[in-house]
Amino acid sequence: MRKSIKRIYALLCMVAMFVMMIPSMAFAAEADETKVAINVKVPDDWQNPCVWAWDEDGNNAFEAWPGEECEATPDNEGWYYVWVPDWANHVIVNANAGEVQTGELVLDGKDAWITVSDADNAEVSYDAQTTGDTPEYTEKFLIHAKVDDSWENPNLWAWSAPDGTNAFEAWPGKAMTAGEDGWYTAKAPTWVNSIIINANHGDVQTEDLSIDPAEIWVTVAEDGTADFSYTDPEKAEIPNVTVHVKAPSDWENPNLWAWSAPDGTNAFASWPGEALEENNGWLTKEIPGWVNSIIVNGNDGSVQTSDISIETEKDVWVVVTDAENYEVTYEEPAASATDVAAEETTTETVEIENTQQSSTPIVLIIIIVIVLAVIVAVVVTKRRVNNRNFDQEGQHEEIDIHFIIRSTRYRYACRMWNRHRE
């Protein structure tokens, strides 16, 4: 019995350990994400080439358009490279801050070489078009810098202290890319813990800035003094706003996609965005106050509106008649103005939750089955033990009865013998 109990406890411990390992296993799979090298050659007038990548389900490999900036390939003039997840097999090569681009290119999920003749012509090859090995993938983080107008062509210099390993080959470092929002950006490896922002060919610079390897915003004054923050100082204090939507009745599971134009910062991780929720007759979703562009979509993103421009920092009401027609207001429309759209609005939101499947229920079912099996085993074992004890007790009782009978007969025989002698 004791051995059976010990075995059961051991089995339960194994089950518990397995359940606890599930999150870490998922994390490890994510951390070990396979990367492939995309090598590109672009026309001479395509400056700062980038690659935008996604998969068939609309999951983006990078946070915002125009995607990941390419690095010059060593000893291969005119060629650039970038690392992307192997699942992101749809790419667009673009340049000049996204102003020129190729069409959609579908890849095989392995290292590729793309030769771009112009925006309408790009050739894909899986045979090496460059010499030497592509530099190994290195995790990087984004550095934003806003400098005084007198600082021209700012650069990023970065290194690891105290060993002094430099991220770039020579001073003044990596040229930072200008954005339309007034911020310059560049990336540095995650092993970097010290940076300098400089400009005017390195003639002006900040002091050494000790930082954590995380996305950072650096504000630089004319004299080189600098402050930095790990949140966008221009967006951090903007409160969220609510988008209210009336969608056509045949748009199942309506979602909202939201972003900031023209920089392309997305509010949600991947297309088609996040589900709109029923609220007092409207479909609503709270979004960051800096969002200025939205798309209402349904049927897993297969139907949608065009890009809808909205004002920042304001609640907005959007009545969608069909994919081509919608009305935007910043006050809730009168009931009479929305009657038709209200009739078309779906009220069945329960199905939204049914689409969010994961492996967790399967794991729970397995655990329940195992626990039930353990319980059955315990019950069966106890019953066997009880039956065994019962049989033994019955034998003892039978033995005792025979003993009593024999003892009684012996005493009776003795009395009769004694009487006979008398």
Supply the pLDDT for residue 338.
Answer: 45
Instruction: Please indicate whether residue 336 or residue 73 has the higher confidence score (pLDDT).
Output: 73
Q: Extract the runs of DSSP E, i.e. beta strands, from 130-254.
A: 140-146, 155-160, 165-166, 174-175, 177-178, 184-189, 194-199, 204-205, 209-210, 216-220, 226-229, 241-246
Residues of the chain with CATH 2.60.40.10: 140-229, 241-354
Range 91-104 burial, b when 16+ CB lie within 10 A, else e: bbbbbebbebbbee
Supply the pLDDT for residue 289.
Answer: 92
Q: What superfamily would CATH give domain 140-229?
A: Immunoglobulins (2.60.40.10)
Q: Which two tokens stand for residue 287?
A: 């979004």
Amino acid residing at 330: Y
Average pLDDT score over the chain = 81
Supply the pLDDT for residue 263.
Answer: 75
Supply the pLDDT for residue 398.
Answer: 44
Given pLDDT bands bounded at 50, 70 and 90, which one contains residue 20?
very low
Supply the pLDDT for residue 261.
Answer: 84
Flag whether pLDDT at 185 surpasses 50. Answer: yes
| Overall CATH class of domain 241-354 | mainly beta
Average pLDDT over residues 330-347: 60
Flag whether pLDDT at 379 surpasses 70. Answer: no
Instruction: Please indicate whether residue 176 or residue 261 has the higher confidence score (pLDDT).
Output: 176
Q: Rounded to whole angstroms, how far apart are CA atoms 156 and 197?
A: 5
CATH architecture observed for domain 35-125: Sandwich (2.60)
Average pLDDT over residues 84-92: 95
DSSP state of 238: P
DSSP codes, 88-121: --EEEEEETTTTEE---EE--SS-EEEEEEETTE
DSSP state of 313: T
Average pLDDT over residues 369-376: 64
pLDDT tens digit sequence for 26-79:
333 344 579 999 999 999 999 999 999 999 888 889 888 889 999 999 999 999
Q: Which two tokens stand for residue 113?
A: 């070489």
